[in-house]
Amino acid sequence: MLAALWIIVTATFFLMHSIPGDPFLGDKVTEAIRQNMLRKYGLDKPLWEQYVIYLGNLLRGDFGTSLKMLHRSVNDMIRDGFPVSALLGLEALAYAVTIGLVLGTLAGFRHNTWLDYLAMFVALIGISVPGFIMGGLMQYVIGLKLGWLPIARWEGFRYTIMPAAALGLGTLAVMARMMRTSVLEVTNQDYIKTAKAKGLSQREIVFRHILRNAILPIVTILGPLTAGIVTGSFVIELIFGIPGLGKYYVQSIFNRDYTLILGTTIFYAVLLVFLNFLVDVAYGIVDPRIRLMRSRE
């Protein structure tokens, strides 16, 4: 885990420095001032020395200060930006999970009916249209033409609905399709026939025997799906003008804001690892086979 992090830090560090240009090149400053600034931030030192200094600071939990954002510390920016991003991501995930699962379940039980076709059509759109295009479309139609929801910014729940929907749509679509397949598959399992042979009603069979088993494969892909939401949030935050960490992250790359790039990359890496861990735990809870394997270790 720590080794993986070290590799990510190192790779990011050197890749980032291999991008042509530096943080101050585009600014309208004289060459002398630019040299001064580089010296101030230690960017005139040899690369390996910068690297060692950075690692040293990192071990003390210090991500350094942003090179562009009015000298704010990266730690502060993460502290301010992350809650916003987390809220957006969780809301998107909530939409994706609830609506996706319900849609997929209905499609599975009513398969080859109009409901199924409709659900799968929605899913197809969700999978093939990227979130930022959907976001732009929603801004135009729902925000501008219909005026139902605010187009951008982040000033209350109403502001969160559109970006969260745009961000969650792809995941929602994947969930709906997987859940449909899964429901169909579980319904044909022998143990469902056993349940029927016991004299259970269709309702009891669905809620006690089908749904829980159908959800298992969904939980396994929850890891990659949440990762998709995290990465998707970068662009969504940008186009909706949301002051989240993702927006900083994207800007930091355009700005060659070295410390911010490194800080956010490390933060996201840790976040993804942690999310995957959560998914593993969740999987253990729903699947007794995994749970027991763990307890034996």
Question: How far apart (Å, rounded) are the C-alpha atoms in residues 120 and 213?
Answer: 21
Q: Which stretch binds another protein (CB under 8 A): 68-76, 118-126, 183-191, 274-282?
A: 183-191
Q: Mask: binding to another protein, 233-272, rule CB under 8 A, as x and -?
A: ----------------------------------------
Distance of CA 192 to the CA centre of its chain: 36
Does residue number 197 form part of the binding site for another protein (CB under 8 A)? yes
Does residue number 182 form part of the binding site for another protein (CB under 8 A)? no
Does residue number 98 form part of the binding site for another protein (CB under 8 A)? no
Does residue number 295 form part of the binding site for another protein (CB under 8 A)? no
Does residue number 113 form part of the binding site for another protein (CB under 8 A)? no
Q: Which stretch binds another protein (CB under 8 A): 45-53, 135-143, 212-220, 242-250?
A: 212-220
Angle at 224 between CA 219 and CA 230, to 5 degrees: 120
**CB of residue 116 to another protein, shortest distance in Å:** 15
Question: How far apart (Å, rounded) are the C-alpha atoms in residues 110 and 119?
Answer: 10
H helix runs in the chain, sequence order: 2-18, 31-40, 47-59, 74-109, 114-128, 131-138, 157-187, 190-197, 202-204, 211-239, 245-254, 258-286, 288-296
Asked if residues 139 and 239 have their Cβ atoms less than 8 Å apart, the reply is yes
Nearer to another protein, 31 or 190 (CB): 190
DSSP helix/strand/coil, 200: coil
# of chain residues touching another protein (CB under 8 A): 25
Nearer to another protein, 275 or 279 (CB): 279
Asked if residues 171 and 228 have their Cβ atoms less than 8 Å apart, the reply is yes
43, 86, 90, 200: residue in contact with another protein (rule CB under 8 A): 200
Contact residues for another protein (CB under 8 A)? 188-191, 193-202, 204, 208-209, 212-213, 216, 286-289, 292
